Amino acid sequence: MAGSSSSKPNKPNAPRPALDAPRKPLQVMHISRKEEQERLKRETESKQGTANKASKEAEKSTNSPVRPESSHATTSFGRQVDEESVEGISMADLLGQADRSSTSPQKQWDASPARSVDDFDFDEDAFLAALDENEPIGATGEIARGSVIGIESDGVYVDIGGKAPGFMPKNECGLGVITNLKERFPKGLEVEVLVTREQNADGMVTVSCRALALRKSWEKLREMEKEGKVLQVKINGFNRGGVTCDLEGLRGFIPRSQLENGEKHDSLVGKTLGVTFLEVNPDTRKLVLSEKRAAIAARFAELEVGQLVEGKVSAIKPYGFFIDLGGVSGLLHQSMITNGGLRSLREVFDLGDQIKAIVTELDPSRGRIGLNTALLEGPPGEILVEKDKIMAEAVDRANKARNVLRQKEQTAQ
């Protein structure tokens, strides 16, 4: 029966997708990939064409054959590039490679083979001569010789061999006052100068005749001081402490305590005095003189070693006697009195005694005179018992003593 037949209730079927429904997203992706591939292919072909064209142009310009075994392209910079390497390379890459491959001048220099000093012609003498020619002339304190090449109102130009002449100011042209430079320094005159200032920006140095003269004066006076010389000077001024004078272009000073007539020292202006040196110091520019010491120096000039002198005992000290020799004092040391044993100095001489002795030492710089009476003895200790006899025969005994001294000197030499 239809009505009794067992039948299942009808369920709605799920809708099936239409067979002709378009699959748009997949189609779009397929088309995009294809277009990308075509674009890349076109770019590659374009690059290959550009490279081939550049290769042909390079071949035409250089007429250089291309090896058949390797396919390559030539860039506009004259560099060969393989065609396979061109694919996927832009023009910017090609230009960058060309720039990196180009050799700079520095690289070309670095690539050149190294050369040692022996590969060059090197003359050491010529090199040293070139250094001498370009060496600056005129260090401060240096003495230079040159010739006068020009005269101005304020000074003189002297050629001393530098790249520029030396200039000597008018007040440095000499000691004293120079009124006419043209007469004193005619052109071509050979002069000796002292460099007082080194080269300026123009290569010019400052020179001086006056400074050189002063330097020589100080050197000369120092030698005179060592020799203990007595000099004659003219007094040209005075002050409360003493008098002044000129000596070798330098200003000398004589203190009142070193004058024979120091109470009325102002009256000495214009007079000539004999003086010697107390201090010669070029660093502090001190030149101090003495009239009293000049008298001593003059007496020293009259004495010599081995000479027999006569004087008076002026002082007795524990170490010996001081003998007044007429303006100077000599020392008769206790070790020089006798060759015998001496218990007391007063055994031999007393204050005020007149004695004779031999000069054995002279030191003008320190004012020392060494005397000796032991050389007048015969047997050791004779002077202790025969003092008057020795003094009476002193001249003959001194001659014998001098002969003995000369023999000893010759033996020593």
Let me know if residue 185 belongs to a domain. yes
Give the residue among 328, 313, 306, 320 at the shortest CA–CA distance from 228: 328
- Distance CA(148)–CA(156), nearest Å, equals 7
Both tokens assigned to 7: 């039948």
Compute the Cα dihedral for 15, 21, 27, 28 and give only its sign: negative
The residue assigned the tokens 């006697």 is: 321
Beta strands in 59-103 (DSSP E): 72-74, 80-82
Evaluate if pTM is beyond 0.85.
Answer: no
Residues 404 and 307 in one domain: yes
Residues 327 and 366 in one domain: yes
User: Are the C-beta atoms of residues 338 and 380 closer than 8 Å to each other?
Assistant: yes
Triad 332, 398, 293: Cα angle to 5°? 45
Question: Helix H segments across 228-316?
Answer: 291-301
User: Are the C-beta atoms of residues 334 and 342 closer than 8 Å to each other?
Assistant: yes
Q: 281 is in which domain, residue-wise?
A: 228-296
Secondary structure of residue 13 in the 3-state scheme = coil
- Distance CA(24)–CA(390), nearest Å, equals 160
Residue 117: CA count within 13 A, CB half-sphere: 3
Q: What is the pLDDT of residue 112?
A: 54
- Distance CA(207)–CA(159), nearest Å, equals 11
The H or E element spanning position 233 is strand 231-239
Beta strands in 267-367 (DSSP E): 272-281, 286-290, 308-317, 320-324, 329-333, 354-363
Q: What is the pLDDT of residue 174?
A: 83
Let me know if residue 339 belongs to a domain. yes
Give the residue among 226, 216, 287 at the shortest CA–CA distance from 251: 287
DSSP label of 312? E
Let me know if residue 6 belongs to a domain. no
Q: What is the pLDDT of residue 160?
A: 86
CA 292 vs. chain centroid, Å, equals 43
Secondary structure of residue 209 in the 3-state scheme = helix
Residues 233 and 157 in one domain: no
Burial class (CB in 10 A: 0-12, 13-18, 19+), 51: buried
- Distance CA(271)–CA(244), nearest Å, equals 11
Q: What is the pLDDT of residue 229?
A: 82
DSSP label of 319? T
Give the residue among 258, 236, 249 at the shortest CA–CA distance from 285: 249
Residues 289 and 329 in one domain: no
Altogether, the residues listed in the chain come to a count of 413
Let me know if residue 234 belongs to a domain. yes
Domain boundary among 167, 185, 213: 213
Let me know if residue 342 belongs to a domain. yes
User: Are the C-beta atoms of residues 373 and 337 closer than 8 Å to each other?
Assistant: yes
Domain boundary among 266, 296, 326: 296
Residues 237 and 292 in one domain: yes
Let me know if residue 289 belongs to a domain. yes
Neighbours of 126 (CB within 10 A): 10
- Distance CA(130)–CA(122), nearest Å, equals 13
Residues 263 and 313 in one domain: no
Residue 169: CA count within 13 A, CB half-sphere: 7
Domain boundary among 181, 213, 245: 213
Residues 263 and 311 in one domain: no
User: Are the C-beta atoms of residues 275 and 233 closer than 8 Å to each other?
Assistant: yes
User: Are the C-beta atoms of residues 254 and 279 closer than 8 Å to each other?
Assistant: no
- Distance CA(271)–CA(263), nearest Å, equals 16
Domain CATH for 157: 2.40.50.140
Residues 390 and 339 in one domain: yes
Residues 248 and 275 in one domain: yes
Give the residue among 176, 130, 173, 128 at the shortest CA–CA distance from 154: 173
- Mean pLDDT for each 10-residue chunk of the chain (413 residues)? 45 49 47 68 78 70 48 44 51 52 49 54 64 60 87 89 82 82 89 84 83 91 86 92 92 92 87 91 92 84 89 92 89 91 88 92 84 91 90 91 79 73
Let me know if residue 125 belongs to a domain. no
Let me know if residue 66 belongs to a domain. no
User: Are the C-beta atoms of residues 271 and 238 closer than 8 Å to each other?
Assistant: no
- Provide the domain count of the chain: 3
User: Are the C-beta atoms of residues 235 and 244 closer than 8 Å to each other?
Assistant: yes
User: Are the C-beta atoms of residues 61 and 54 closer than 8 Å to each other?
Assistant: no
